[in-house]
Amino acid sequence: MNATSVNSNANTSTVIQVAVPVPLARVFDYDCDQAPAVGTRVQVPFGARQVVGFCMGAVPTPAASEFKRKAVSKVLDEQPVLSEPVWELLQWAADYYQHPVGEVLAHGLPVLLRQGEAASYQTTQAYQATPAGQQLELNELRNARQQQRLLAALRSGSLLRRDIVAQEYSLSALKALQEKELIEAYQHQPSAERDWTFAIGSEPLQLNPEQALAVAAIGAAQQPQPYLLEGVTGSGKTEVYLQAMAEVLRKGKQVLVIVPEIGLTPQTLRRFQKRFAVPIVMLHSALSDRERLDAWLDAKNGAAAIVIGTRSAIFTPFSQLGMIVVDEEHDSSLKQQEGFRYHARDLAVVRGHKERVPVILGSATPSLESINNVSQKRYAHLQLTQRAGQARPTRHMVVDIKQMPLKAGLSVPLIERMREELERGQQVLVFINRRGFAPALLCHECGWLAQCRRCDAYYTVHQRQQQLQCHHCGDQLRIPAQCHDCGSTQLVGRGVGTEQLEQTLTELFPDFPVLRIDRDSTRRKGSLQKHLADATENKFPLLVGTQMIAKGHHFPHVTLVAMLDIDGALYSSDFRAAERLGQLITQVAGRAGRASAPGTVVLQTHHPEHDLLQDLIHNGYAAFARSLLRERELTQLPPFGQLALFRAEAHEAQHAQAALQAIADQLPRHPQLMVLGPMPAVMERRAGRYRYQLLLQCQQRGLRQQILQHSLPQLQQLPELRRVRWSLDVDPQDF
Ligand code: ADP
Ligand code: ZN
Ligand code: ZN
């Protein structure tokens, strides 16, 4: 190559800045022989790899570089791949959460687009009934219910494979029907067209006055704004969402619905599908990468009217977004707990503001943050104080279990109450937040407790599998025959888990079948749905469950709910423990008495006189939360103080400690900045690593942001950080 061609080449090529998905808070310069638009994806060499990054703009006057600048390998898009509002939202989030922009942008994309696939549809697998399938007498499949159900659905219209998965039809039924040639697969070509018009599937309910007021307020607003819809469990919040959404859909606009992890069920989907005859996509974990991309494209080009998804759905682009709904806005699964640690509720509010659309945050037990935003007039307040339909409020009964004999955690007054209820044909739910048989294995002779090799935690005894399991690192081993210290064979489980409770209840109430719902009993795909359906239909008079059943599900026949042990949370060191306990008790209580029979909640405790408990029981969650809020104000904790948490972990405790000490030393001194630590995490050792943390507490958010922004570039250079895994969590939730 001669000198002139090099020169002319240099003149026509541009230098662009590229954000690549690496944990570095900077962009990189690359030569490019075209000038791609900001926001298009480019494939570039990075180290020894090829990675997909984003063009962030041209470098106006590239500095002459001593080393050879690398060149873009390929420009992947003709147009920016994200919509403008989502692009801005991601930039905002990278800035607010102080997370490397390349990683944040990658996070906003479906996996296939992160890997460089084209942002376009391919044909997708769909199924339809064959003429034989159309004519078959459905009754002939009465011994194959799953097949019957699926065939019935396909006879009324073909279905994409991803919809069959979303609605949890059995895939073996699908295969069987195909083998019998009652249905057939074909390749469906999705259209990038928006081809729906608003249509109602079933008539809306007649709203009660509070609901009507809420729907009217949202519809009549001059300025789009956030709303906190605070409605006791069973007050009909979902009906308010549906009717507020109807107005938006009627105008041809789209709606984004964010639900907590546990809320993303076929029941949720069915409820929306029943009301609206418009295309609805559900973004959930069972989708293949291709199905997820298709759903994403449907939202982006307007083909989907409603998108329902968990927290990451907040980054879905829409062609015409008209409203965002965040259900159970207090739920901790809305906060991402690793990597890019964003809060989907907070981003929903930011997005609503940027896109000028209303945001409805709904909960029976709102977060203190949202309650405070109401009193600061940042959110409008909508209240539903009555249960909808015929459901009546629940009663509380506190059982003081001091010095009482307990049978698998159950006191005699509770057992008696349960018996009464069961004999009247009602359903009883016992809540305990420990799965397994017992939370620890104890030597009865010497007091030795089986401790995880890799964590500061005891092994949980799982009797059915004859295993000890660590719920923190996943370590598993056979239950030992002898004590490690004294050799005794007198090993016993200490404490109570769901498995033991199930066993004891079976012995106490042999005539009443027990159903256990926890992570162990619902491991098989679809089994959670089946258990929930069985519970709802009162096939099991006795229900035992963990967190999993605390939220959202309706058990209309349950009239008694018992919580066995609530004391841990009353004296926890976590400043959010009281808020979480109030939410949990209220949510669990909300499972009772949803139909016409009134419900009772039994709380067993050693501290019946505890202020928090009394406040919650006598004044209800709303008043309880407001008194917690006053305490937070006195202690300058969120939402009054602004927190940021540095975490570090390493095989050597002193490395983790030293890294955080180095950070603490580098931070500027400021009268309004408090730095606490380094201190060990609540569980200091986990999976063989020592974990430390450093807490920053600031009175003002702006100041916290400024301090982080100024310090991070230097902090990242600290040699002490090279020996540890570290991260920054802005607005940390659990620590
Ligand atoms: P939430 O989401 O507040 O827990 P839901 O919206 O699930 O409550 O409503 C609880 C129950 O009350 C549902 O069975 C729902 O169909 C019913 N419901 C809601 N609104 C009304 C109404 N206006 N009239 C009659 N029933 C209603
Ligand atoms: Zn022993
Ligand atoms: Zn462990």
3-state secondary structure of 636: coil
Residue indicated by tokens 């958010």: 701
At residue 536, the pLDDT reads: 85
Crossing angle of helices 145-155 and 171-179, rounded to 10°: 70
At residue 65, the pLDDT reads: 65
At residue 355, the pLDDT reads: 95
566, 499, 504, 558: which is closest to 532 by C-alpha? 558
Share of the chain above pLDDT 90, in %: 74
pLDDT band at 5 (very low <50, low <70, confident <90, very high): very low
**How many angstroms does the Cα of residue 390 sit away from the middle of ligand 1?**
10
The predicted model scores a pTM of 0.90
| Euclidean distance between CA atoms 732 and 724, whole angstroms | 20
Q: Which residue has the higher pLDDT, 11 or 217?
A: 217
Query: Tokens representing 396?
Result: 């509380």
Lowest mean pLDDT among 112-116, 149-153, 571-575, 683-687: 571-575
Residues with CB under 6 A from ligand 1: 205-208, 211, 231, 233-239, 388-389
pLDDT tens string 131-148? 999 998 888 888 888 899
Give the torsion sign (CA, 330, 336, 338, 339): negative
Residue indicated by tokens 């996943």: 474
Q: What angle do CA 473, 479, 480 make, to 5 degrees?
A: 115
Phi-psi domain of 333 (left: phi exceeds 0; alpha: psi -120 through 50; beta: other): alpha
Share of the chain above pLDDT 70, in %: 96
pLDDT tens string 79-95? 999 999 999 999 999 99
Average pLDDT (616-636) is 93
Of ligand 1's listed atoms, the one at least distance from the Cα of 232 is: 3
633, 545, 649, 631: which is closest to 591 by C-alpha? 545
Of ligand 1's listed atoms, the one at least distance from the Cα of 327 is: 2
Lowest mean pLDDT among 49-63, 104-118, 228-242: 49-63
The arrangement of strands across the sheet holding 460-462 comes to 460-462, 467-469, 476-478
Q: Which residue has the higher pLDDT, 470 or 65?
A: 470
**How many angstroms does the Cα of residue 268 sit away from the middle of ligand 1?**
13
For ligand 1, atom 21, the nearest C-alpha belongs to 388
For ligand 1, atom 4, the nearest C-alpha belongs to 234
For ligand 1, atom 6, the nearest C-alpha belongs to 236
Q: Which amino acid is at 290?
A: R
pLDDT tens string 262-312? 777 777 888 999 999 999 999 987 788 998 999 999 999 999 999 999 999
Residue 500 has pLDDT above 90, yes or no: yes
Flag whether 470 is marked binding. yes
At residue 547, the pLDDT reads: 83
| Euclidean distance between CA atoms 381 and 360, whole angstroms | 10
- Which of 205, 233, 239, when mutated, tests ligand 1's pocket best, judged by the most ligand atoms within 8 Å of its CB? 239
pLDDT tens string 246-262? 999 999 999 999 999 87
Residue 535 has pLDDT above 90, yes or no: no
- In sequence order, what are the residues at sequence separation of 6 or more whose Cβ sits closer than 8 angstroms to the Cβ of residue 636? 697, 699
At residue 277, the pLDDT reads: 93
Phi-psi domain of 264 (left: phi exceeds 0; alpha: psi -120 through 50; beta: other): beta
**How many angstroms does the Cα of residue 536 sit away from the middle of ligand 2?**
45
Mean pLDDT, the chain, rounded, equals 91
Ligand nearest to the CA of 459: 3
| Euclidean distance between CA atoms 119 and 104, whole angstroms | 19
Average pLDDT (49-63) is 89
CB 277 within 8 A of CB 345: no
Ligand nearest to the CA of 444: 2
For ligand 1, atom 5, the nearest C-alpha belongs to 236
Residue 10 has pLDDT above 60, yes or no: no
| Euclidean distance between CA atoms 647 and 58, whole angstroms | 36
At residue 265, the pLDDT reads: 76
Task: Kindly report the three-state secondary structure assignment for every residue of 615-634.
Answer: HHHHHHHHHHHHHHHHHHHH
Flag whether 483 is marked binding. yes
DSSP 180: T
- C-alpha distance across the termini of the chain, in Å: 60
At residue 12, the pLDDT reads: 59
ipTM of the complex: 0.97
At residue 6, the pLDDT reads: 34
674, 677, 656, 627: which is closest to 726 by C-alpha? 656
**How many angstroms does the Cα of residue 339 sit away from the middle of ligand 1?**
37
pLDDT band at 407 (very low <50, low <70, confident <90, very high): very high
At residue 593, the pLDDT reads: 66
Q: Kindly write down the DSSP assignment for every residue of 205-231, as one continuous string.
A: PPPPHHHHHHHHHHHH-SS--EEEEEE
| Euclidean distance between CA atoms 75 and 379, whole angstroms | 43
Q: Kindly write down the DSSP assignment for every residue of 659-680, as one continuous string.
A: HHHHHHHHSPP-TTEEEEEEEE
Q: What does each C-alpha distance from 728 to 101, 286, 463 come to in angstroms?
A: 14, 30, 39
Q: What does each C-alpha distance from 507 to 457, 513, 547 come to in angstroms?
A: 31, 10, 24
Query: Tokens representing 215?
Result: 């729907």
Q: Which amino acid is at 495?
A: G
